[in-house]
Copies of this chain bind each other. A is one copy, B any other.
Amino acid sequence: MTRHVEQDTHAPTPQPAPHGARMCAGDRRQQIAEVAMRLFSERGFRGTTTKEIAQAAGVSEAIIFRHFATKEELYTAIIDYKGCVGAAAAAAGRPGQPPVIDEIRGLVSDAMEASDDLAVFQRVAQHMLDHHEEDPEFLRLLMYIALENHSLGSVFWDKNVRVLYEFLGGYIRRRQREGAFRDVDPYAAVRVLVGSVIHHSLVNLLWDKDPARRILRVSNEEAARQFAEVLLRGIAADPGAVGQKRAEASKRSNRNREGGADVKNHRDKNKKR
């Protein structure tokens, strides 16, 4: 139990000899960081001991302090890593890659050009939901950092959420100028979408953990569509046109999303009632 190397589902960890073998400094450092990341996200900074980290990493405590001067420095390195790196890049072990927001930008740029509002909202929502589901550490860490008032909290926030607000807020403002949306505070509209999404992920992660017993038992795709549709109808200048718009734009947007196993666009799979 003490000595085994953590193997993430889709992350190619440096992959050393499986049994407590020697590693070069870089690999060891990264391995410690990854193990610590998991523990910190589960129990917070104060709740995680260096001894636990060492045990989980399969090394002695002193090794940790050879690679990180203090526990605080280790935490900070992790926050920096999680905060500045896109989830996909992080999973692939490529630090320094573009942050999450750039993934989103790429995802919706064509929908934005085409003014396909539903696709814009829906893709952003689903991307966030998927991200939170496949990397629950992210959300937990985000919350712990905020609650524990870590100094890097604001950086984490600015790089991950604030930019998203500005990005979506800018789009909504543009569409308002074009007369497509009614006169609401753009950031209030973003708050509705982002709030629904984050709250949904948070609830599923922290309280309604058992998927079989959830209050709201829907796939990410379905949730994203519902949230996006409520927001769009909620701020549209002419809400009656929403349905048409979707039908008209659905070809473009679907083509762009994830080929291969075609996104099942079952129109209304309504549930228990």
A: residues with CB less than 8 A from B are 43-44, 46-47, 140, 143-144, 146-148, 153-154, 157, 161-162, 165, 173, 183-185, 187-189, 191-192, 194-200, 203, 206-207, 215-216, 218, 223, 226-227, 229-236, 239-240, 268, 270-271, 273
How far is the CB of A206 from the nearest CB of chain B, in Å?
4
Chain B residues positioned under 8 Å from A232 (CB to CB): 234
Which residue in chain B gives the minimum CB-CB distance to A208?
B157
**Which of B196, B206, B235 contacts A192, CB < 8 Å?**
B196
* Cα(A170)–Cα(B240), bound, Å: 26
Please classify the interface of chain A as helix (H, G, I), strand (E, B), loop, or mixed, using the class held by over half of its residues: helix
Q: Are B143 and A215 in contact, CB atoms less than 8 angstroms apart?
A: no
Q: Which residue of B lies closest to A214 (CB)?
A: B187
What B residues does A191 contact at CB under 8 A? 196, 199-200, 203, 216, 227
Stoichiometry, as copies per complex, reads 2
Question: A183 and B216 in contact (CB under 8 A), knowing A148-B47, A196-B195, A230-B192?
Answer: no
Q: Across the interface, which residues of B come within 8 angstroms of A203, CB to CB?
A: 191
In angstroms, Cα B197 to Cα A50, docked, is 37
Bound: A271/B184 CA distance, A: 9
Q: How far is the CA of A187 from the CA of B154 in the complex (A)?
A: 32
Contact yes or no, B188 A226, CB < 8 A: yes
Instruction: Report the nearest B residue to A225, measured CB to CB.
Output: B188
Chain B, residue nearest A270 (CB): B183
Contacts of A140 in B (CB 8 A): 147
Residue pair A230, B239 in contact (C-beta under 8 Å)? no
In the complex formed, the residue of B with least CB distance to A141 is B147
Q: Which of B165, B173, B194, B226 contacts A184 (CB 8 A)?
A: B226
The answer to whether A207 and B148 touch across the interface, beta carbons within 8 angstroms, is no
Chain B proximity of A17: nearest CB distance (Å): 34
For residue A84, give the distance in angstroms from its CB to the closest CB of chain B. Answer: 17
Nearest residue (CB) in B for A45 is B47
